[in-house]
Structure 1
Amino acid sequence: MSDTSGRQALVIGASRGLGLVLAEELTRRSWRVIATARQNGGELRAKADASNGRLRVESLEMTSDDQLAALRERLDGTELDLLFVNAAIDRGNLPITEVSTETFAEVMITNALSPLRTVEALRDLVTPGGTVAVMSSRQGSVSLNTRPGFELYKASKAALNQLMRSYSTRYAEDGHTKLLIHPGHNQTPLGGPGAPLSPAESMPAVVDVLEAQAGAKGLQFLDLYGEVVPW
């Protein structure tokens, strides 16, 4: 394991589920962590209070341009070794013909557009050699889409992956490691109680990947074990 005692991470979307456990795991490994929540933080706030200053909570509704700009202003001068954006919603297992325009827009904005806007707004805080990572899903893999179901969610994650690909092309020379991470099927409000993994199992593996890939060039789409996920 690398020496992370002086490193700092920003985890976007950490009020519950994967983001919460990710922030906690980074803190456990002696990273200093800034983590965002949409409201008062709840469990995240309690963990921050017990962290001896290693975990700090900031407020952010990621779909709000004004809140994103305000967060960027509050973080001015901060140096990040890791920027990790975690966001996803699901509005049910409907064929695309039954999805309303409003629902389509909501899911695409939350799962694809807002994460990339967040990365764009905060990327200049990431140090040379730092990492920009986004929580994706193998559900966004076009080549692995061989079973029916969850068409809108799959489309939103595929859009996220494509936007991140465009981002990595535009900033190919910025020196940042760029990662799309598939965390596995987890027992979260999104993944459901019957999922085979818990966040307590998957997030340590994800942090292993983040630490192992630090300094790698280009964009990679990896799972929680560091294996390549096909596009």
Structure 2
Amino acid sequence: MRRRIAIPVILLVVLGLGAIAALSLRLAVGVSRADSPYASPSAATARGPTAPPSPDDAPPLDEVADGDDDMSQLVTSADPVVYATALTEVLLTWNTTSQPSPRTVAETIMRHADPDSPDGDELSTDLANYLPSDAAWQDLRRHATRQTVTVHTATVPDAWAAIQASAPASDLPPGTTAVTLQATRHRTGVWEDDEVHTSHPITFTVFLECPPPDAPCRPVRLSRPDAAL
């Protein structure tokens, strides 16, 4: 059995172990009010109360919107920047009209994780921080909500070299690295019969194992949303 990777103290703040605030989660999901996945609090208040939609209002999963951007496959690569970029595109690209739940997105990435790694449960929790809850997903599906992402930058942060230098060699297996990404999430959906588009910037760090000399990278952990290294 593999032993858990020892996380240097400086990374504990970035990973936010055991301290995911509800407000941060709502911001990460991008739902500003329970009755609308798009309206700002002030706009929703001005509009007045809205009756919750019936579950029957949700479209069947086979009614996939035109231009579906569902990405069900994650490419492999030994290049950490290439792999982290591909992982980001899979994680932040989803379509509630064609995917039954956010777990289908997370499972695509978890299939790439080392099945013997003791960090698997933590990685699963990390991924959930970037996805709507099951209940929010069903609400978003009533609005035919889809999300795509534009990755602007993907780089190994300067701080990573200092972390490697200060950590005991036994704490970080060969090939362990970090990639910080800056991206924008784009959401499209239908609200009160109008198509609505929103954009949400995000930055975060993906921690990977890319064993030398050229073994494919595997995901290990993700930082909290907007708490990049």
TM-score band w.r.t. shorter chain: under 0.3
Q: Which has the higher helix share?
A: 1
Higher relative contact order (CA 8 A, sep 6+): 2
Alignment TM-score, normalising by the size of structure 1: 0.27
